[in-house]
Copies of this chain bind each other. A is one copy, B any other.
Amino acid sequence: MVSMTSTAPVASHGPVTRKDVARYAGVSTAVVSYVVNGGPKRVAPATEAKVQDAIRVLGYRPNAAARALKLGSSETLGLIIPDNSNPFFSLLAHAVEDAAAELGFALLLTNSGGSLTKERRHIRNLAARQVDGVFLASVLFEPDLEDLAKADIPCVLLNNDRETEGFNSIGVDLAAGARTAVEHLLWHGHTRIGLAMGTNVSNDIDGRELGWREALRDAGVAEGPIIHSDFTRLGGYLAGQRLLAGPDRPTAIFASSDMQAIGILRAIHEAGLAVPGDIAVTSFDGVADAEYSWPALTTVEQPVRAMAAAAVTALVGAARHEPAQHRIFPTALHVRQSCGCPDGNAPQGA
């Protein structure tokens, strides 16, 4: 039986399915599948042409839901971050999206807002949606991955500095990074170096605090004041005000995030003091904002794109069958002006 509907361009009975294409091209539905997916069977060139033609004419586009149901994979990944408005996380999300797209995966974005409940709800929701994997930049020390485990969905922990038994995780050497930032301040001759530390949900001591402490100890310098506050501009601003008002004001401050440093800069400016003249500042993350603050921040840069690429590889790429592993990335001190170094370079990024 040969095609006999070739004259009617579109039957127009709702969305075009594989069946319509098959009928139009005068072949079976299997053949359509073969040409759409490039396999698993070969198709004669002439037939292929007919099918391609039918596809074009009818405007056929495969139904991803059906495909996902059949294959058990939606070619979709989930990403849970605390807050997409935070430059560090939006950068991370962007990088993850790019890396995932490279492998044909789409990204479901969710913000947990730092809430345990929301994080759990998102994990559950993503699992129900049959994502093929999830990236989790968790606010929890021990995230609740039960739902993922049950659905057999792989997961990689992002922004995770310490090893978590049984999990793939990606992180940066916080302590080492913090050391370089503090040592740089020490090198500038500072001996009263404060710390503006972000507050984590975990009660464990943060690697950045460790690094700050170690650098000071190794240099035989007494610990400066330390203030804990949110990892935000406002948190930094408040911390800055307290640091400035304290009994013996530091001559330099290391902030655990660029956002905090930006808040600190404002507190210092408002106090009528100069950076780095009166107080030097260094920070952590290396987001774009740090390059355009005034003065530009000397900061410890996290290799976000490399981490995102590694995360995708571990989740659904080449490394997906290797045993769970904690991958630590090195940081790089990006010297600009807030530390006291002479103005060298004009801005280069966006």
B292 lies within 8 A of A85 (CB) = no
Could you tell me which residues of chain A, from 304 to 350, have a CB within 8 Å of some CB in chain B?
343, 346-350
Smallest CB separation, A72 vs chain B (Å): 8
Contacts of A151 in B (CB 8 A): 15, 61
Contacts of A296 in B (CB 8 A): 266
Smallest CB separation, A233 vs chain B (Å): 5
1/0 per position for A47-76, CB-CB distance to B under 8 A? 000000000000101111110110000101
A94 lies within 8 A of B84 (CB) = yes
B263 lies within 8 A of A347 (CB) = yes
Interface size class of A (residues with CB under 8 A): 35 or more
One of B98, B110, B259, B270 near A106 (C-beta < 8 A): B110
Contacts of A91 in B (CB 8 A): 85
Q: Does A232 contact B (CB under 8 A)?
A: yes
A90 lies within 8 A of B84 (CB) = yes
Contacts of A106 in B (CB 8 A): 108, 110, 125-126, 129
Contacts of A237 in B (CB 8 A): 292, 346-347
B108 lies within 8 A of A65 (CB) = no
1/0 per position for A278-292, CB-CB distance to B under 8 A? 000000000011011
Contacts of A85 in B (CB 8 A): 87, 90-91, 94, 288, 350
Interchain CA distance A129-B65 in the complex, whole Å: 7
Contacts of A269 in B (CB 8 A): 294
1/0 per position for A252-266, CB-CB distance to B under 8 A? 000000010011011
Interchain CA distance A233-B152 in the complex, whole Å: 44
Instruction: Using CB atoms, name the residue of chain B closest to A304.
Output: B85
One of B110, B124, B270, B349 near A234 (C-beta < 8 A): B349
Q: Does A130 contact B (CB under 8 A)?
A: yes
Interchain CA distance A254-B71 in the complex, whole Å: 54
1/0 per position for A128-158, CB-CB distance to B under 8 A? 1110000000000000000100111000000
Q: A292-B233, A294-B266 are in contact. Are A74 and B84 (CB under 8 A)?
A: no
Interchain CA distance A259-B291 in the complex, whole Å: 12
* Residues of A participating in the B interface, judged by any CB pair closer than 8 Å: 15, 59, 61-66, 68-69, 74, 76, 83-85, 87, 90-91, 93-94, 97-98, 101, 106-111, 124-130, 147, 150-152, 230, 232-235, 237, 259, 262-263, 265-266, 269-270, 288-289, 291-294, 296, 343, 346-350
For the complex with contacts A84-B93, A101-B110, 11 further pairs of A-B residues with Cβ separation under 8 Å are A65-B68, A65-B69, A68-B68, A84-B90, A84-B94, A85-B350, A106-B110, A109-B109, A259-B350, A262-B292, A270-B346
